[in-house]
Amino acid sequence: MENLLEVSNLKVWDSHSGKEIIQDSSFELKYGSCLAVVGESGSGKSVTCRAIMRLNRSTLHQSGNILFKGENISQLSTKEMRKKRGKNLCMILQNGMSAFDPSYVVGVHLRETLAEHFKWSKSEIELRMTRAMESVMLKNPTDIMNKYPHQLSGGMLQRVMIALAIVLEPDIIIADEPTTALDTISQYEVVDQFIKLRERMGCSMIFVSHDLGVVRKIADEVMVMRDGRIVERGQTEAIFNKPQHDYTKYLVSTRLALSEHFKKVMGEGLLVADSR
C-alpha cells in the first residue's frame, strides 16, 4: 500500500449557517512524501488540515472518510483520536504561541505531551528534548524549557515544535503555514529545519503555505485549493511549469514573483550554510 493517508469525499460545513467550507475533497498522501497545499486565505487549507486531525471548532461538522494506514480515523472516538495525535499525526501550527498554554513554562507542555505517549522518566524526556532542540539549532535548551511562551520569539517557538516532532517521530507531520508569522531570516531557518526533518525521519508531510518558493523547495506534490474545492493537483514541477487551471496559473505567476526575494535569501542562506 503506497498511500499512508487517504481522504475521500471530505465535507466540512458550519452547523449554524449551513455554509459548506470544504466541498467534497478527495486526495491521498504517499509514504515518505510531502504534499503542499496552496491557495489564498479562506480557500480551506487550514480547515482541511484540522479536519484530518479532528481539531476544527465544534460548530464545524464534517463527513467523509479519512483512512490512516487503512484505518478509518474519522470513526474513532475522541479518546482514541487523542492517542493518534502527536504520536501518529503531529500538527505544527501557524502561530507557535497558540500551541502552548501561556500560564506554564514551555517545558510543561513538552513533558505532558511526551508522557502521554511514552513511558519515559522525566529525566529521559528532558534528555531527548534537549538533544532534539540542539539539533534544530536552539541554544541553551534547559533555559528555553523554563521560559514562558511569550518570552520566546515566533521562530524559536516553531523550532521547539519541530524538536517535539523529532522526539515524537510521527508518521505524518502537518505543518499549517509554519513560516507566516516569522521574519525572513527566521523563515529561512524554519524551512531549512523542515527539510532536514524530512531527510532525517523520512516521515510524510502535509505542508500548507502561501509561499510558492518554499513549496517548490520542499514538496513532491502540490494541491491547489480555491473556495473549499481542490482545483488542481500534481507533481511539484508540473504545477509550476505547466499549470492547467486558470487559478493555478494566476497563483504561480503572482506568488512566484512575491517569493523571488525569499528564494534569494534561501540561496544566500544555503551558500553560507555550505561554506561552514
pLDDT tens sequence across 234-254:
999 999 999 999 999 999 988
Q: What are phi and psi of 25, to 5 degrees?
A: -90, 135
In this prediction, residue 86 carries a pLDDT of 86
Residue % of the chain over a pLDDT of 70: 92
CATH code at position 228: 3.40.50.300
Tell me the whole-structure pTM to 2 decimals.
0.87
In tens, the pLDDT along 70-116 reads: 999 999 999 999 889 988 999 988 777 888 899 999 999 999 999 98
- pLDDT, tens digit, 9 for 90 and up, residues 4-57: 999 999 999 999 999 999 999 999 999 999 999 999 888 999 999 999 999 999
Domains held by the chain: number: 1
First-to-final CA distance of the chain: 41
Calpha distance 244→30 (Å, rounded)? 23
The pLDDT value given to residue 164: 93
- The boundaries of the domain holding residue 50 are 3-275
- pLDDT computed for residue 276 by the predictor: 45
* 54 CB burial (10 A radius; 0-12, 13-18, 19+): middle
pLDDT band at 268 (very low <50, low <70, confident <90, very high): low
Give the closest residue to 133 by CA, choosing from 171, 166, 94. Answer: 166
- pLDDT over 70 (residue 266): no
